[in-house]
Amino acid sequence: MATREESRRQNNQQHELIPLAALISRELKSEKMEKPSVSYGYAEKAKKGEDYYLVKTDCQRVPGNSASTFSVFAIFDGHHGNAAAIYARDNILNHVLAAMPRELGRDEWLHALPRALVAGFVKTDKEFQLKGKTSGTTATFVIVDRWTVTVACVGDSRCVLDVQGGAVSDLSVDHRLEDNEEERQRVIASGGEVGRLSIVGGVEIGPLRCWPGGLCLSRSIGDVDVGEFIVPIPHVKQVKLSSVGGRLIIASDGVWDALSSEMAAKSCRGLPADLAARQVVKETLRTKGLKDDTTCVVVDIIPPENALPLLPPPKKQSKLKALYFWKKLLNYTNKSSKKLSPLIIVEELFEEGSAMLAERLGNGDSSAQSASGFNCAICQVDLAANEGISVHAGSIFSTCSKPWQGPFLCGDCRNKKDAMEGKRPSGLKIM
């Protein structure tokens, strides 16, 4: 006679026969669901020729391992010439990757990204300033690794997220003195003056600017001729999309001066990425005319089951056909959004916008320490044991109780840090 326990186990086994098959199929499905496909398009209409963009879809976290592929999309809107925008486009990715600890798994890698983005941006700025050229640039730099999107930005080239069935949200912050009270206060506290251009008779015109230099932005890369309180330290936001994916619209202020985030997202819904980018630029010109360089990159993160089948190259592909596949995808996501409504929510993994390096580079915990060894946390130069200066040393903003702890900076980067925080007149170097 079977005990109660045995009969319960037998019952369970009978019950599990079918669900097990379902479970395996579900697991296979979720494995497939792990990797969305990424499709992108870009469009531009130049006026001054100072907008540049970067698209790189074949980056690998582990060189040679295609499963570790990630994509990079960026926009650089230059001012006072194009040198800074070109320099940032050509160097910033390498500087970010150079600041990443080696041999990390995906999760740790994503976790380490925000810090490396800060280091990469500051290094790019520092190097460009050494060239003695007087231009500057915004930088909105987006890393897409499967469902995780990380956005680092200085300036006002916005990155907008449009989630199917969800709201439109900004993944970047506009560093414009006119619109950003927090940044105005920071600049003034660091020794800058904020005001408008004044013409004869003392009449003030135009947007708020920062003096010396007269820049409307509070953060940028380059700009050797403005105060050091115009910092290259990016606002960084990292989100994880749900399995319905989403669309990123990254564009220069040529677009955002004409369209709100919502308007831009709505103007191109239903179109595949390449047509969507063109549509956003078209809508901008229709609304305001060509007032400024206008550049737009659209990135679609698409669930794998809905990945568009291999189509002929874009030139041969008819608009109608592309629309058809996109509609199919929309139908699916509409259906699944009803079923999976709780999953629609975008998970926020990280957000930090402080301009203080002590807060951004974090405490020298054991993993960061062993990975970077005795390197400068910004420029990665080797430091002798007695050479590094803790990023926390002498900082009233320090969250670290041990100012002798890392991460460490070389003398040059420490000078840069002090100048950015208004502790040293800009341009003056202590030898």
Task: For the CB of residue 406, give the shortest distance to Zn ion in the complex, in Å.
Answer: 13
Contacts with Zn ion by CB under 5 A lie at: 376, 378-379, 410, 413
Residue (351 or 412) nearer to Zn ion, CB: 412
Which C-beta is closer to Zn ion: that of 302 or that of 409? 409
CB of 378 to Zn ion, least distance (A): 5
Quote the CA–CA distance of 76 and 401 in Å, as a whole number. Answer: 38
Strands 159-162 and 235-240, by their bridges, are: unpaired
- The CB-of-357 to Zn ion minimum distance in angstroms stands at 11
Torsion of CA 219, 221, 222, 224, to 10 degrees: 30
Q: How near is the Cβ of 413 to Zn ion at its closest, in Å?
A: 3
**How far, in Å, CA of 140 to CA of 157, rounded?**
6
Q: Which is nearer to Zn ion, 117 or 379 (CB)?
A: 379
Closest contact distance (angstroms) between CB of 389 and Zn ion is: 10
Minimum CB distance to Zn ion smaller for 247 or for 417: 417
At which residue do the structure tokens 């600041």 appear? 99
What does the alpha-carbon distance between residue 113 and residue 118 come to, in Å, rounded to a whole number? 9
> Any alpha helices (H) in 131-221, and if so which ranges?
181-189
Min separation Cβ 380 and Zn ion, Å: 7
Question: What is the smallest separation between the CB atom of 379 and Zn ion, expressed in angstroms?
Answer: 3
For 69, the enclosing helix (H) or strand (E) is: strand 69-79
CB-nearer residue toward Zn ion: 275 or 391: 391
Return d(Cα 64, Cα 59) in angstroms, integer. 10
Residue whose CB is less far from Zn ion, 118 or 378: 378
Nearer to Zn ion, 236 or 378 (CB): 378
Q: Three-state SS for 183?
A: helix
Residue 415 Cβ vs Zn ion, minimum distance, rounded to whole Å: 9
- Cβ proximity to Zn ion: between 333 and 380 the closer is 380
Beta strand pairing status for 408-409 and 389-390? Answer: antiparallel
Rounded to the nearest 5°, which phi and psi values hold at 219? -140, 145
> Rounded to whole angstroms, what are the CA distances from 146 to 71, 238, 245, 316?
9, 13, 10, 29
Distances (CA, A) of 182 to 186, 187, 353, 354, 355: 6, 9, 11, 10, 11
**CB-based contacts of 26, cutoff 8 Å, min separation 6:** none
For 200, which DSSP code?
Answer: G
**SS3 of residue 192 by DSSP:** coil
